[in-house]
Structure 1
Amino acid sequence: MSPDSSPREPGPSGTLHTTDAVPTHRRRTYWREALSQTFGSVDMGVPDEIDRGTIRTSPLGPMQVVTVDGDPLRALRTQRLIAGSDNGDHVVVKLLSKGVARVEQDTRDACVRPGQLFVYDMARPIRMTLPEPFQSKSLVLPRDVLGLSETELRRITASPLDSETPLGALLSPFLSRLVDTADRYPQRTADSIARNVVDLLRTLADDRLGTASADTENAARGSLLRIRAYIDWHLADPDLTPEAIARAHRISVRYLHKLFQLEDITVSRWIQQRRLEQCRRELSRREAAGLTIAAVAHRWGFTSASHFSRVFRAAYGASPAEWRSFAARAPHMAAPAHSPQLPYMR
C-alpha cells in the first residue's frame, strides 16, 4: 500500500485497515489492497466509490480472527491466484453478521443469510458475492488443525449452517463474541481458548459429515465445549460456580452436571483443575517471581491461600513454593509463558 494509506495498528497483536483517513479518490485502490492482504491473492471487484470499509485482525493461537465491515464486493480466487499465493494451506470459517452473500465452491452454489456461517478452503477456487453492505466475522486457520482429509473438507465447504439448528444456535453467537473479544486475552488464555475452538470446529465438521453418533450427543458435546471455553474465560472470578455457569448458559445445574459426566469429572473439580494448571504455569514464569504465592492463587480465583497450597500439593506432589523453586533452578522444564501446553480433556 502507499505510504499515506498504510494500515493503522490498534495494538501490538492486531491490525486495523480503515478507509476513514484515506482520500476519497484513493479509497477504492486502498480497499482492494487491504482485502487482498487479509485474505490472500484474490481478484476483488468493488464499487467505483467506496463509502466506508474497516478490517480488524487479531491472532488467537494458531488462528487469525477477522472482522470486515464494508460496501458490496465480489471476490474471486482462481487456480492461478492460488498457485501464486502463500496461504493456500488455510481454511476460513465465516459468519455473516449483516447483509447477504452468495458463495460458490466445490460444485456448490449457496445463498447465505445473516446469522449463518460457512466454511471455505483457500486451496481451491472460490467465488463470493456480497451485493449489499455487510459485516462478516471469520476464523482463518491452518487446514491441518482440523484433521480433515481432502475429501472430507470438500464435503463441508460452501454449505451454510443455519442459526436455527441446535449446533448453529450454539456456534454462531459463540464465534461472534470470540471474534469481538479475541484481542483482549493474554497469550496463555488465548492459546487455551484456541484449543477449545478447534474442538468446536471439529464438532461442526462431524455434524456436516454425519459422523456424530446422534444429534443429541453432538449437541451435548458442543454445549460442553462451549462451557469449557466459558470457564477458561472466567477462571479468575472467585464466584465461578456451577450455579453461575448454568445461569449464564440458560441451562439447569442438573443438566450441567450431566454434561460433565461425559468427561468423567465434576464441574467443580474441572474448575479447580484448570485453576491449578494456570497457577502452576504462573509460578514457573520468571516474570511472576515478584508475586507472592497468595497473589498468584487469588489471580486465578482461589480465595484461600492455605486451601490452594493443600490442593496444589495433592495435585503435583509438591508445595507451590517447592514448585517455584524447582522451576527457577530448571527453567527449561517449566512450561513457557508464551506457549502453555494445555491438555485436551476428552
Structure 2
Amino acid sequence: MPDREKVAYWNDAVSRTLVPMTVAPRGDGPFHGRIATDHLGYLQVSTMEADAKRVSRTPALIARSSEAMVAVGVQVSGTATFVQDGRRAEVGEGDLVVYDTARPYFFDYPQRFTTHVFQLPRHKLGVADGDIRQVTGNAIGTTDGFGAVLLPFLATLAASADGYPPAVASQLAGHVVDLFATLITERTHPGGADADTARSHVLIRVRDYINQNLGDPDLSPEGIARTHRISVRYLHRLFESERTTVSRLIQQRRLEECGRELAHLGTASTVSAVAHRWGFVSTSHFSRAFRRTYGVSPREWRKLRAAQVDGGQLSAGARSPSASR
C-alpha cells in the first residue's frame, strides 16, 4: 500500500479480522504491519506483526460488533501494556492475556511486536462473567501454573492452524475451549475450589462429540477418551453423576435418532438401513434394544406412526423416543 494509505488500510484490516478497534501508530515514519488468520471450527487464530502502535476498543466500537467474543493473546515478541476492567498489565515475551471484547480495553505496543490472538464466541466458553472479569487485565506468564502447559500448546497451534482437516479442526477448537475454561477456573478459584466447573465443561464436550459421531459403529469409551486426551477411567467418572454409563448413553442416543427417522413418514429407508446409519452393526440387536426401550418393534413403531392421521398419541405401550431422555 502507498505510505499515505497504510494506516487507514491497517485499521480496516484489523477491525474486519478481529473486532472493530482504533489503531494509532506511535511513530511518524511509514507504518508496516501483517496479519494472517485461520479458523479451527468456531475458533479464530490470528498472528499479527506490526510496528509500534496503540489499540483502543471503545464503547462506540463495541456497539458495532454483532457478537461478544473472548480473546486470548500470546505475546511472541516485543512488549505491551494492556488495560481492561481498571487493571493494568505489563506483558512481556511469552506472556498471555485474556480479554473480553464486549468491554473497553487498550493495548500499547512501544516497539515492533508479534502476537497470536485466539478468538472465540463468548457463549462457547461456558464461564461466568464474573470469573472472566477477574482474569482480564492480568499478564499470565510461562511459570504460572496451568499457563506453563497452555502457552507452548497455543504457540504450536498458531503455527500449524492451516494444516488441519475440518473434522480435526473442530475437535481442536473444543480442546482449546476446555483449556481456556480450565485456565480461568484455576486463576479465579485457586486450589481447585471450582473443579466441578472444569469437569462439567469436559462433560459437555464429550456429549457433543457423541452426538456428532453416533453413526460411527466404532464409537466407544476408549476412542472418546483418546480423542479428548483423558483416561477411560476419568471418562467413566465424569458420568457417575449422570445416572448412566458412556456406552448406555451412546445406545440411548442412537435409539432416539432411529426412532425419529422411522417416525418420519416421508422416509423410504428400511429398518436395517436406518439402524446401520446410526451406528448399529446388527439389525437383530437393534430390534431387541428398540423393543426393550420403547415397548414395540421398529416395524411396529413405524406402522403406529403411519396410522396417526390426526397427530394424536401413540397406542399404549409405545413410548416416544423424546420421552425417554
Q: Which band: TM-score by shorter chain?
A: 0.5 to 0.7
Where 2:98 maps in the other structure, the secondary structure is strand
Pick closer, same or farther for the CA change 1:258–1:96 going to 2, 3 Å: same
Q: Give, in whole Å, the separation in 2 of the partners of 1:183 and 1:309.
A: 36
State the match for 2:35 in structure 1: 53
Distance in 2 (CA, whole Å) between partners of 1:268 and 1:119 is: 39
Does the 8 Å CA contact 1:161/1:168 hold for their aligned counterparts? no
Give yes or no for contact 1:120–1:158 (8 Å, CA) kept in 2.
no
Spell out, residue by residue over 1:191-244, the C-alpha distance to the aligned partner (whole angstroms, 9 max, x if none).
x99999988876665444329963665554455445444444543332222233
Residue 256 in structure 1 maps to residue 235 in structure 2? yes
Q: Shift of the alpha carbon at 1:139?
A: 0.4
Provide the residue aligned with 1:133 in structure 2: 114
Letter of the 2:18 partner, please give it.
Answer: F
| Aligned-residue identity in percent | 31
Secondary structure at 1:295 match in 2 = helix
Tell which structure's C-alpha radius of gyration is larger: 2
C-alpha deviation, 1:265, in angstroms? 2.0
Instruction: Find out whether 1:307 has 2:285 as its counterpart.
Output: yes
Change over 3 Å in CA distance of 1:307–1:94 after alignment to 2: farther
* Residue aligning to 1:337: none
Give the match's secondary structure for 1:307: helix
Task: Say which SS state the counterpart of residue 109 (structure 1) adopts.
Answer: strand
Q: C-alpha distance in 1, partners of 2:275/2:238?
A: 28
Q: Distance in 2 between matches of 1:168 and 1:330?
A: 62
Q: Is the 8 A contact 2:35 2:48 kept in 1?
A: yes
Letter in 2 for 1:311: A
Other-structure match for 1:124? 104
| Structure 2, gaps ≥5 residues long | 312-321
Match of 2:91 in 1: 111
Q: How far is 1:266 from its partner?
A: 1.3
Structure 1 residues 97 and 156 mapped into 2: Cα distance closer, same or farther (>3 Å)? closer
Shift of the 266–173 alpha-carbon distance from structure 1 to 2, 3 Å rule, reads farther
Partner Cα separation in structure 2 for residue 290 and residue 28 of structure 1: 60
Give the residue type in structure 1 aligned to 2:100: Y
* TM-score, normalization by structure 1: 0.60
Match of 2:20 among 24, 41, 51: 41
TM-score of the aligned structures, taking structure 2 as reference length: 0.63
- Aligned pair count reads 296
Aligned pairs for 1:1-346 (under 5 A) are 29-45=8-24, 48-50=31-33, 52-56=34-38, 64-72=42-50, 74=53, 76-79=55-58, 81-82=60-61, 85-87=63-65, 90-94=68-72, 96=74, 102=80, 103-106=82-85, 107-111=87-91, 116=96, 118-127=98-107, 129=109, 131-141=112-122, 146=126, 148=128, 151-159=130-138, 165=145, 169=149, 184=166, 205-210=184-189, 214=193, 217=196, 220-249=199-228, 251-280=230-259, 289=267, 291-316=269-294, 320=298, 322=301, 326=305
- Does the CA contact (< 8 Å) of 1:90 and 1:121 recur in 2? yes
Deviations 1:14-64 (A, max 9, x none): xxxxxxxxx6877765443132124333012477234x4333458x6xxx5
- SS of corresponding position for 2:104: coil
**Matched residue type, 2:37:** I
Residue aligned with 1:66, SS: strand
Give 2:316's aligned residue.
none
